[in-house]
Amino acid sequence: MNLDQKTILITGGTGSFGKRFIRTVLARHSPKRIIVFSRDELKQHDMQISLNDHRVTFFIGDVRDRDRLYRAFQAGIDVIIHAAALKQVPACEYNPFEAVKTNMLGAQNIIEAAIDCKVPKVIALSTDKAVNPVNLYGATKLCAEKLFVQGNSYAGGKVTRFSCVRYGNVVGSRGSVIPVFLQQRKNGKVTVTDQRMTRFWITLEQGVDFVIRCTGLMHGGEVFVPRIPSMGIIDLVKAIAPDCEIEVTGIRPGEKLHETLVSFDEARHTVALEDMFVIQPEHHWWGSDNWSEGAPLPDGFAYTSDTNDKWLDFEDLRNMIKDI
Cα–Cα distance measured from residue 69 to residue 100, given in angstroms and rounded to the nearest whole number: 18
- Whether 196 is in a domain gets the answer no
- Whether 320 is in a domain gets the answer no
Percent of the chain with pLDDT over 90: 83
- Whether 285 is in a domain gets the answer yes
In DSSP notation, 253-315 reads: TT--SS-EEE-HHHHTTEEE-SSEEEEPP-STTS-TTTTTTSEEPPTT--EESSS-S-B--HH
Catalytic status, residue 6: no
CB atoms within 10 A of CB 200: 27
pLDDT tens sequence across 6-61: 999 999 999 999 999 999 999 999 999 999 999 999 999 999 999 999 999 999 99
C-alpha distances in Å from residue 102, one per residue of 12, 98, 250: 11, 6, 30
- Whether 188 is in a domain gets the answer no
pLDDT tens sequence across 142-186: 999 999 999 999 998 999 999 999 999 998 676 678 888 888 999
- Whether 317 is in a domain gets the answer no
- Whether 160 is in a domain gets the answer yes
Beta carbons of 257 and 251 less than 8 angstroms apart:
yes
- Whether 271 is in a domain gets the answer yes
pLDDT score for 319: 76
Active-site option among 129, 158, 256, 322: 129
pLDDT score for 59: 97
pLDDT tens sequence across 211-251: 999 999 999 999 999 999 999 999 888 888 888 999 999 98
Give me the domain span that covers residue 137.
Answer: 7-168+202-227+260-302
Report the CATH number at residue 81: 3.40.50.720
pLDDT at 264 exceeding the cut of 70: yes
Q: What is the mean pLDDT of residues 122-133?
A: 97
- Whether 177 is in a domain gets the answer no
pLDDT at 3 exceeding the cut of 80: yes
Spatial CB neighbours of 126, under 8 Å, sequence gap ≥ 6: 141, 144, 145, 164, 165, 166, 167, 223
Cα–Cα distance measured from residue 133 to residue 259, given in angstroms and rounded to the nearest whole number: 10
Beta carbons of 14 and 59 less than 8 angstroms apart:
no
Domain count, the chain: 1
pLDDT score for 174: 67
Q: How far apart are the first and last CA of the chain?
A: 28
pLDDT tens sequence across 297-321: 999 999 999 999 999 887 787 777 7
CA dihedral (110, 116, 121, 125) in degrees, to 10, reads 10
